[in-house]
Structure 1
Amino acid sequence: MKRVALATDEVGREMDAELPVLVAALRARGIDAVAVGWDDPGFDWAAQDAVVIRSTWEYTDRLAQFLAWADRVGAVTSLHSPAEVVRWNSDKTYLAELAAAGVPTVPTRFIAPGEAVRLPEDGEIVVKPSVSAGARNSARYTVAQRDAAEAHVRLLHEGGETAMVQPYMERIVDGERALVFLGGRFSHAMRKGPVLTDTGRVDNARVPHPGVAGHTPDTAELAVAAAALATVAVPAGGPLLYARVDLALAGDGSPVVMELELIEPNLFLTEAEGGVERFVEAVARL
């Protein structure tokens, strides 16, 4: 019987409602599955045939420790996503690489500590750290709130974080699209409402996926998602076990990448018909 560990953490155990469902489904498939905290010092990762990063939702607060863990685990067993991909995807500066490769992407300005703070003069903007999850320490600002936006950037710098500044995508009211891929194949998509519904305020208690509903992506959305995934340097061994590509609509209605989620995304498996089964089969093919 193959052994598979689903890596989680304290927050994941509390908030990941799909975790016990996946463990049960994998066991029903004949796989010895267990959910375990990634920072559990007593767990034998080398005894696993594969380790799947599932809901390590606190990793942004301990990034260096988490990346070191991924390196150690990836050296003794099959880690998904691979440590190299985890390192690359943990900082949203990867968006600059997507844009440079010609992938339609939300225009993003990165401002590292020590760099001059220059903000766009027109339109509403969003300020957030380049290492974040679930809209942590993120806020939306109007033109009249530029002083507050600049203060937000400087606060991030004081914490040693790189700030990213993006235009607020007005058509986010039409829904953010989340396209999920399992084993390199498109599985399903969801549409969710806007998170930053007010301005000038950081609120880390916001619901990260409001109003989730099923979505059928069009040809353009599938093409942009495929182009984004094609830029990822995947180590030898096949396609990524999972990926989620988050898209928004530009002013002309064309899709652009907001984020490429390759570490511990909510995959909405129980909300998509056959989602759990496709995940289990993708794990079984590892």
Structure 2
Amino acid sequence: MDYQKLIEAHRNKKADVTCAVLASMRNRDSEFGIFKVDSDNKVTEFREKLGEKPVKCISVENSGKSNDSVHNNFLGMGIYVINRDVMKKLLREYFPRANDLRSEVIPGAISLGMKVHAYCFDGYWEDMRSIKAFYQANMESTKKTNIGYNFYDKDSPLYTLPRHLPPSLITDAVITDSVIGDGCILNTRVGDGAIIEDSILMGSDAYQMQDVQANGIQGKDMDILIGIGEGSHVRKAIVDKNARIGKNVMIINKDNVQEANMEAYGYTIKAGIVVILRGAVIPNGSIL
């Protein structure tokens, strides 16, 4: 999102509060609520979920009812622009006991008849509130067509803090439809014959060399190096940092389990996605 456009819309409307909303209702399960908006983009109601009653603040009557008969529902994004003086009044005078901006302060501003407007955003946005949402967003970034977000769009550059890692080293591998981060070594860290499909690998904080035992460094599970062992198959999974996956391991959710808490064994399953926990050790030959 270009926040400059959001602020410009807020100023042009001379709004007290502007709420960013999604142009599409494709995901109806937003934790940021549903905003009812009239033809002038003024917010007239707020609901926690579609179909529920509007949220109103106790002891405050709605003095800003709209006569506009045309209304549309939009998903909230949890992004707001609020004038400083308006925020002070809302928190100090009207709702000093409020604990939540979304469910108390914003509906309160609507009830008071303040100028609460919506800014309709039609670009890419994902609510990373769950394992499933995180997984889907990552998978969409690897698509050749209908890509969710284009990291290489020159008109919308993505600024981030570089980690100053060396270039990735890839030898003897066949890789398609993937995004490879800096500092990866894809030969010893991902063993010969290993297959990884539709998965997210978070990498590791340190690398282990194959001759780690030969140098006299020993300990529990040191025979399984950080990374994915030879002949293993990983499909529809998220592998967290510093995980050790042994040889000939099958992480494929063979029973199509949707939810499971197996933290004692180093993994969980959320929405059918196998999550290998940080620092987990999956023994040779395991089938998950």
Coarse TM-score class (shorter-chain normalised): under 0.3
Higher relative contact order (CA 8 A, sep 6+): 1
Scaled by the length of structure 2, the TM-score of the pair is 0.25
Q: Which protein has the bigger helix share?
A: 1
Scaled by the length of structure 1, the TM-score of the pair is 0.26
Greater Rg by CA: 2
